[in-house]
A and B are shown apart, each in its own frame.
Chain A
Amino acid sequence: NAGVTQTPKFQVLKTGQSMTLQCAQDMNHNSMYWYRQDPGMGLRLIYYSASEGTTDKGEVPNGYNVSRLNKREFSLRLESAAPSQTSVYFCASTGLSYEQYFGPGTRLTVT
């Protein structure tokens, strides 16, 4: 049981480049989430998917898109990266009592 996995672990992009962050969970959870974490600001919700086939905006969706590919996988895409998107990105899924299980994170730097 791997839990929640994320790839890549680290990434450096130049301004304007695009990339997709991958997330998968093997716990058969319905809901999945993408957060960004910046120093001193806790975790902020970017997008979430309450169930397969649905996605919704969170607190900070601008500059991002998501795809819920199937029940296991939820990807986050940056179409044109900006330095303000330098952050640590976490994917999470929700258990039966609504506790969230987080992946190991992707550390993204945009220069």
Chain B
Amino acid sequence: GQQVMQIPQYQHVQEGEDFTTYCNSSTTLSNIQWYKQRPGGHPVFLIQLVKSGEVKKQKRLTFQFGEAKKNSSLHITATQTTDVGTYFCADLSSGSARQLTFGSGTQLTVLP
């Protein structure tokens, strides 16, 4: 089935530094969703990207979908301690059940 690779697995940054996580697939992705999971918590939906080349922003977060729809990225500008958590990308299947295939996630630590 569809495999979604996510890198890096871990990232430690100093507060105020930028952070980027990348999601890649060898096949064309349908729609990409991004989720954030705080330590000990559950995944929370952030955004969905649908179109090739799409760029969306949420305050300090910028989400991009590649032109070939084979990759996506999440960039956080000037990280804060509230950004700590694991960020997952997920490919939304085009079948009737609309399943999600998740990447393995990037765990972000922000050092104060």
Q: How far is the CA of A41 from the CA of B97 in the complex (A)?
A: 22
Q: Does B42 sit at the interface, judged by CB under 8 A?
A: yes
Nearest to A88 among chain B residues (CB) is: B42
Partner of A45, one of B43, B88, B92, B100: B100
User: A44 to B100, alpha carbons, bound, how many Å?
Assistant: 9
Residues of B within 8 A of A31 (CB): 97-98
B65-106 vs A, Cβ < 8 Å mask (1 yes, 0 no): 000000000000000000000001000100011111111110
Interface of chain B: mostly helix, strand, loop or mixed: strand
Partner of A90, one of B43, B96, B99: B43
Listed in ascending order, the chain B residues whose CB lies under 8 Å from chain A are 1, 6, 9, 31, 33, 35, 41-45, 48, 88, 92, 96-105
Q: List 22 A-B contacts (CB under 8 A).
A: A31-B97, A41-B104, A42-B104, A42-B105, A43-B88, A43-B102, A44-B102, A48-B97, A48-B99, A50-B97, A94-B98, A98-B31, A98-B48, A99-B45, A99-B48, A100-B43, A101-B45, A102-B42, A102-B44, A104-B41, A104-B42, A105-B42
